[in-house]
Amino acid sequence: MKNLILTVVLFFTLNLICTGEEIVNPLLSESGKETSVPLALNTGASVAAMKIQSADQWTSPQLADFEQGSITPFEFTFDGASAETAKSNPNKAGINNSTQCLYANYSGMDWWYKAKLNVKQNYVIVPNTANHKYLHFLLYRNVIARSEVQVYDDSNSDTRIYQKQFTNTITNAWEEVVFDLTASDAGLPGIEGKMIGNLWIMTSLDYIAGQFYYDSFVLSDSKDPIGLVRNITNLGDFENGFSGAIIALGTQTDGATASIENNPLATDKLNKTSKAIKYVRPGSAANWQSLRLFLDGFTGVGSPNKYLHFMMYNPANQKISVVINNVAGDEFIQEVVPVQNTAWADYVVDLGSFENLSNIKAINIRMPEDQNDNTYYFDQIILSNTSTPHTASQTSFNAVPAEDVVSPVCSSGKKAVNITQIEAGNEVKLFDMVGRLIYEGCASGNQITIPCLSKVGIIHVIKGGNKYIYRIAVLD
């Protein structure tokens, strides 16, 4: 994670008492020279309290994180909602494991209702460098709502210098949104060369009421996500529902359906899995309306995630467009022409061909306009270092059921993973829940037991030239 540094200038003297372990201001060393330290996001412990090195400034890695004892330059008010600034996190299983967050409950809605993060009297926010121009925050909603971020100049709270509309992509799960505060809509100048005053979020421009949670407001020098990035390869094989990084399906068309159903060609030589995604697209759909695949957090791009593979059974024999969204909302598009329409085939997208693609937040699959209703099937969506499409002799996921190969066990009170039904020389890799490699080695017999200090999430077993990828439950 890159250092997240922002400076708040105060026009009066502050005296702060730091409780617990003292965290020294990373901006000023004893010699007065600038230094920096890495600061973690959402570790569950408060990291906002900083020792004052100067009477007129203090440093925090975040604008607001809402944890107990944390410090923020903001005061929080809401139009049209009951709100809490220390609401319990509704979902700690995904990208946000903090304890508390900002919450607003709207029983009704009007277009002007908003969450107002107003800078306290005599405060002003100054990005530490010109590169700290990206605003990150986390949001959790029980509805899909189109919203707008607005930023105001410190010199006049009525002078808007930035605005940008956004829409959450999923409900009942946290996601991270990022805004380049120098690139505004509506011809506004952005924050370049300015200090930041109030930050407002217009809650729902389409009058949709619901429950809205916010957390971890940060200024950063990176538009890439600073929340959870999983460098994992299995996005989805759907044998046991959502067993990979893909956690939800969506459509953008009235009458369209997307669901996990039985594989219609379970005897196919390439794909013998029992389940697959079935997407039914009505003839009334426009060409921009997509099948949508939402990820839990964000998956990094780059080795070993250089190529996107997916299997498709396309009876309509129509070309499709694969549209990849990163956390900033940018689109990266590649057209795919089917090679057949009577069987499964593996298709490959070279992620390295897209300039500035460093992470994947969602995958959309678009089809051309057609007056007919059409059905498509997708399966075995993975990221790989291999550019060659899979053939019948290179199948993965389906040769041996995961429950027969991987069995988590606990030995002598220590966390361990026991992998069976393998052979001497098989390569084994273990990754933790955020995609970090925590073990790599070769089996010396037909099973291997590996003590693990971290919570295991992904296991790779290379056996007989085939790679088997399994996602298992977190060990207690």
- pLDDT level of residue 44 (50, 70, 90 thresholds): very low
| Phi, psi for 468 (deg, rounded to 5) | -105, 130
Torsion of CA 84, 88, 89, 91, to 10 degrees: -130
Arithmetic mean of pLDDT over the chain: 74
For 59-100, the pLDDT digits (tens) are 443 678 888 877 788 889 898 888 898 999 999 877 788 899
Least confident of 9-18, 59-68, 296-305: 9-18
**Looking at 44-48, 100-104, 154-158, 248-252, which range is the least confident one?**
44-48
Q: pLDDT of 362-402, one tens digit each? A: 899 999 888 889 999 999 898 887 788 876 533 333 333 33
Cβ neighbors of 276 (< 8 A, separation 6 or more) are 238, 260, 261, 262, 263, 264, 311, 313, 377, 378, 379
Over 80: is that where the pLDDT of 134 sits? yes
Band of the pLDDT at 470, cuts 50, 70, 90?
low
**Nearest 5°: phi and psi at 303?**
-55, 130
Greater confidence (26 vs 391) lies with: 391
Average pLDDT over residues 317-329: 89
Number of C-beta neighbours around residue 267 at 10 A: 7
Q: Does the pLDDT value for residue 180 go beyond 50? A: yes
Report the predicted TM-score, pTM, of the whole model to 2 decimal places. 0.53
Residue 64 has phi, psi (to 5 degrees) of -160, 130
Q: What is the pLDDT of residue 432?
A: 61
> Distance between CA 300 and CA 167 in Å, rounded?
22
Chain centroid to Cα 378, Å, comes to 22
The position carrying tokens 């077993």 is 461
Angstrom CA distances, 370 to 274, 291, 316, 333, stand at 29, 15, 10, 20
Position 284 scores a pLDDT of: 87
Q: Which of 61-65, 184-188, 220-224, 245-249 has the lowest mean pLDDT?
A: 61-65
Q: Does residue 102 have a pLDDT over 90?
A: yes
Tokens of 65: 């994180």
Q: Which amino acid is at 11?
A: F
Q: Is the pLDDT confidence value at 114 over 50?
A: yes
State the pLDDT at residue 453: 62
What local confidence, expressed as pLDDT, does residue 420 receive? 73
Q: Which of 5-19, 142-156, 296-310 has the lowest mean pLDDT?
A: 5-19
pLDDT of 161: 92
**pLDDT attached to residue 465:** 57
Q: Is the pLDDT of residue 45 over 80?
A: no
30 and 7 Cβ atoms separated by less than 8 Å: no
* pLDDT digit string, tens, across residues 401-437: 333 344 444 444 456 777 777 778 888 877 665 556 7
Q: Which of 22-26, 120-124, 240-244 has the highest mean pLDDT?
A: 240-244
pLDDT of residue 52: 22
* 228-262: pLDDT as tens digits: 455 556 788 888 788 777 888 888 888 899 999 99
